[in-house]
């Protein structure tokens, strides 16, 4: 007899696992199909796992501020037995430099204030009191190291920043996906590892299941695409690309790990910093290291990847560019000859805002296009997807009458149409990983 479920979830990354947990809590018989040997070992494993609240749109800010609370209350949210090894959330705070590029953060502060999300404005002196290794010359625009003007200050200085004290990061993102899967299983969810979806099945004008590589068919009236950087492949298999104005593509990223300068304990005293003057973000990393990622400035080429399983996993001169650019801010930074860090893929959407939506094919849903900035939102995205499935399967037309969804912790209602696959490109977006 062939396997069946109420809902098939494709992908056991942090968002897929959260979707499984939330649907299983509703009593749905879920089956998660994951081609890897373990949950959380897709792009989730490469994530910097930064939990921050500053987004350029109001909806993005509301979602992220809501999202923070689940990491704060992780064990309670999972109803985890004491024996579970849980991922840890370190509430290190996040400092964002005020720059002309981000409009001196006026919109970000407005969004946070409207949502009672705490933040503090810091002077340049407060920034260097927190981070004595920093010097605040301005270098904008961000450049590559082969630019003759690289490393030359432009004569201006950063005047300060905004600090969000509740921001932080999760120490082991793959473990957090496994925590979610374990919680889902306690509610009856099933996970099949080494199960790769090769085809989306349809019958009677709606989705009816999937076929795995190897030929096995599994039937379910609802299928959810949470395949991360493989999302566009799965959407193509389902034949649902035609009515989408927002599409998704795999984008290669390098993250640098460097030791903190001698004499400063960045792991204990540091903070997350987003610095659009040099187009980098950083956060403390275990072993008194600093992890440095790019904020996708125009000078850095976008390396789109056709096949999410076959791309260059070696570091390139992008690693060196990011490390040297960070050295502009931290002149005592030592740059080791051995490159360490992460090479992984974003599932970037057209406007760098995710798609949480149904598809043109009835019964088929997608949580994708997470654009390097949705790890933090996994639990609330899972909750919202579960509500969306219930809404649509209950006969509502989400395309014409979008679900209104209340974010439980912050008691704010959002229009889920904000995340529609058919939305116009959102011009308020930063069009970068900042969302
Ligand atoms: C370098 C990097 C840094 C990031 N930093 C941050 C950050 O600091 N903060 C933040 O909020 N977000 C960050 N993100 C984004 C965040 O990590 C992602 O949005 C999130 O992890 C996506 O989770 P997911 O479950 O959707 O996808 P994934 O974790 O990619 O999971 C998708 C799963 O689907 C499986 N799959 C694919 N195709 C198939 C198939 N055909 N059959 C079966 N299984 C399949 C894959 O094996 C994979 O396990 C970062 C991402 C990267 C790459």
* pLDDT score, position 432: 87
Tell how far the Cα of 342 is from the centroid of ligand 1, in angstroms.
13
Ligand 1 pocket, residue 10 CB under 6 Å: yes
The Å distance, Cα 124 to ligand 1 centre, comes to 36
Same-domain pairing of 156 and 188: no
Q: Domain check: are 327 and 374 in the same one?
A: no
Q: 359 and 238: one domain?
A: yes
pLDDT, one tens digit per residue, over 234-266 is 999 999 999 999 999 999 999 999 999 999 999
Instruction: Locate all alpha helices (DSSP H) within 132-198, ordered by sequence.
Output: 173-186
For residue 305, the CA-to-ligand 1 centroid distance in Å is: 15
What string of DSSP letters covers 155-169? S-B--EEEEETT-EE
Query: Is any atom of ligand 1 closer than 6 Å to the C-beta of 382?
Result: no
270-285 pLDDT, tens digit each = 999 999 999 999 999 9
Task: State the closest ligand 1 atom to the C-alpha of 377, by its place in the atom list counted from 1.
Answer: 11
Question: Is 264 in the same domain as 151?
Answer: yes
pLDDT higher than 70, residue 147: yes
Distance from residue 357's CA to the centre of ligand 1 (Å):
17
In a domain, 388, yes or no: yes
Last-in-domain residue among 293, 326, 344: 344
Give me the CATH number covering residue 212.
3.50.50.60
Residue 84: pLDDT band (50, 70, 90) is confident
Substitution site in 8, 12, 39, 47 for ligand 1 pocket (most atoms within 8 Å of beta carbon): 47
Closest among 198, 146, 206, 190 to 29, alpha carbons compared = 190
7 bridge partner residues: 30, 222
Mean pLDDT computed over 139-159 = 97
Q: Which domain holds residue 263?
A: 91-167+253-344
User: Based on the domain organization, do 359 and 415 belong to the same domain?
Assistant: yes
- 192, part of any domain: yes
Are 257 and 240 found together in one domain? no
- Give yes or no for residue 83 having a pLDDT over 80: no
Phi-psi region for residue 105, left (φ > 0), alpha (ψ -120 to 50) or beta? Answer: left
Q: Residue 2: which pLDDT band, with cuts at 50, 70 and 90?
A: confident
Tokens 């570091």 appear where? 315
Separation of alpha carbons 323 and 339, rounded Å: 10
Same domain assignment for residues 408 and 359: yes
In short, whether 36's Cβ falls inside 6 Å of ligand 1 is: yes
Based on the fold, state whether residues 336 and 187 are members of the same structural domain. no
Atom of ligand 1 nearest to the CA of 254: 1
Beta strand 160-164 with 94-97: parallel, antiparallel or unpaired? antiparallel
Q: What is the Rg, in whole angstroms, of the alpha carbon atoms belonging to the chain?
A: 21
Query: Mutate which of 13, 251, 305 to test ligand 1's pocket (most atoms within 8 Å of Cβ)?
Result: 13
Q: Nearest C-alpha to atom 49 of ligand 1 is from which residue? A: 42
Please indicate, yes or no, if residue 263 is contained in any of the structural domains. Answer: yes
Q: How does residue 100 score in pLDDT terms, banded at 50, 70 and 90?
A: very high
Count of the separate structural domains present in the chain? 2
pLDDT digit string (tens) for 107-142? 999 999 999 999 999 999 999 999 999 999 999 999
- Is residue 328 a part of any domain in this protein? yes
Same domain, 261 and 161: yes
At 377-432, the pLDDT tens digits run 999 999 999 999 999 999 999 999 999 999 999 999 999 999 999 999 989 888 88
Starting at the earlier edge strand, list the strands of the sheet with 168-170.
50-51, 168-170, 89-90
CB-hemisphere CA count at 13 Å for 180?
Answer: 32
Whether 1 shows a pLDDT value over 90: the answer reads no
């Amino acid at each position: 007899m062939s396997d069946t479920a109420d809902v098939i979830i494709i992908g056991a990354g942090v968002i897929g696992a959260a979707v499984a947990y939330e649907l299983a809590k509703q009593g749905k018989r879920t089956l998660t199909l994951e081609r890897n040997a373990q949950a959380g070992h897709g792009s989730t494993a490469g994530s910097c796992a930064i939990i921050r609240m500053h987004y350029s749109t109001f909806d993005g800010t509301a979602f992220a501020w809501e999202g923070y609370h689940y990491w704060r209350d992780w064990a309670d949210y999972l109803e985890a037995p004491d024996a579970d090894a849980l991922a840890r959330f370190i509430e290190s705070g996040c400092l964002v430099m005020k720059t002309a590029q981000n409009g001196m953060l006026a919109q970000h502060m407005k969004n946070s204030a409207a949502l009672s999300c705490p933040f503090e404005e810091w002077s340049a002196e407060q920034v260097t009191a927190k981070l004595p290794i920093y010097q605040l010359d301005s270098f904008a625009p961000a450049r590559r190291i082969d630019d003759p003007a690289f490393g030359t200050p432009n004569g201006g200085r950063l005047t300060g920043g905004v600090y969000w004290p509740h921001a932080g990061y999760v120490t082991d993102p793959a473990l957090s996906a496994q925590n979610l899967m374990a919680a889902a299983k306690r509610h009856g969810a099933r996970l099949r590892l080494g199960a790769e979806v090769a085809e989306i099945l349809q019958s009677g004008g709606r989705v009816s299941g999937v076929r795995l590589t190897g030929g096995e068919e599994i039937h379910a009236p609802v299928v959810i695409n949470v395949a991360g950087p493989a999302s566009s492949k799965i959407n193509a298999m389902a034949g649902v690309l035609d009515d989408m104005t927002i599409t998704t593509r795999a984008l290669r990223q390098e993250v640098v790990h460097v030791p903190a300068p001698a004499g400063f304990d960045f792991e204990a005293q540091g903070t997350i910093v987003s610095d659009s003057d040099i187009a980098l973000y950083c956060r403390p990393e275990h072993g008194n290291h600093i992890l440095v990622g790019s904020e996708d400035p125009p000078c850095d080429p976008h390396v789109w990847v056709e096949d999410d399983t076959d791309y260059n996993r070696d570091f390139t001169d992008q690693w060196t560019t990011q490390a040297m650019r960070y050295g502009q801010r931290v002149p005592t930074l030592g740059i080791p000859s051995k490159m360490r860090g992460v090479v992984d893929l974003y599932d970037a959407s057209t406007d760098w805002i995710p798609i949480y939506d149904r598809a043109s094919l009835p019964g088929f849903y997608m949580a994708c296009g997470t654009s390097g900035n949705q790890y933090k939102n996994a639990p609330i995205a899972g909750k919202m997807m579960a509500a969306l499935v219930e809404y649509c399967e209950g006969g509502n037309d989400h395309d014409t009458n979008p679900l209104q969804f209340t974010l439980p912790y912050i008691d704010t209602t959002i229009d889920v149409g904000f995340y529609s696959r058919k939305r116009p490109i959102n011009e308020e977006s930063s069009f970068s990983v900042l969302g």
